[in-house]
Amino acid sequence: MFQGETAITIDDKGRLAIPTGYRDVVARECGNQLVLTYNPFESGCLYLYPQPVWEGVRDQVNKLPRTKKNSRLLQLKLVGAATFVEPDGSGRINVPASHRNAVGIEKKAVLVGMGDKFELWSEQAHLAQIRQTLGDADLGEEMLDLQL
């Protein structure tokens, strides 16, 4: 559903504009209901899910045993930090200051379509991630069979 990367600007009120090419898809696929939360695996990044996709992720995470440390941390980072966002008439969503500050998103950011969700990266973290990925010659055995 979502793919590609777009350089975006966060305005002084903490809003970002959903790229125009995705606005119709977001409206159609999830009725403009999105959920913003932390990426529990990488710093410098937030996840932005369509609400129906989010509900499946949330339910899987909440089924994990709360007595296990790693499960509890995942629940805190994903479910505990989740916030509902809805584009306004101009296609902008508000990214709470707490979320922006935690991952280092300031004025410039990158929105990356990852199929079922978006990743919202700070510009610096995205650049570092891309440089690391491009420089990593060993992408793993599972990649050998892909027809890229």
Domain ranges of the chain: 2-131
CATH of domain 2-131: 3.40.1550.20
DSSP three-state, residue 146: coil
Token pair of 29 as six digits:
């696929």
Q: What is the mean pLDDT of residues 32-52?
A: 95
> What stretch of H or E contains 114?
strand 108-115
User: How are strands ordered across the β-sheet holding 2-9?
Assistant: 2-9, 108-115, 118-122, 45-50, 34-38, 83-85
Q: pLDDT value at position 131?
A: 84
**Percent of the chain having pLDDT more than 90?**
82
**Which class for 1: exposed (0-12), middle (13-18), buried (19 or more C-beta within 10 A)?**
middle
Q: pLDDT value at position 130?
A: 84
The model's pTM is 0.88
How many helices (H) and strands (E) the chain has is answered by 5, 8
Q: pLDDT value at position 143?
A: 60
Kindly tell me if the per-residue pLDDT of 148 is higher than 60: no
Alpha carbon separation from 21 to 34, 42, 69, 116 (Å, rounded): 16, 27, 40, 15
Q: What pLDDT digit, counting tens, does each position of 86-145 carry?
A: 999 999 999 999 999 999 999 999 999 999 999 999 999 998 888 887 766 566 666 666
Segments in 1-148 forming alpha helices (H) = 20-30, 51-62, 69-75, 97-103, 123-135
Buried b (16+ CB within 10 A) or exposed e, 94-107: bbeeebbeebebee
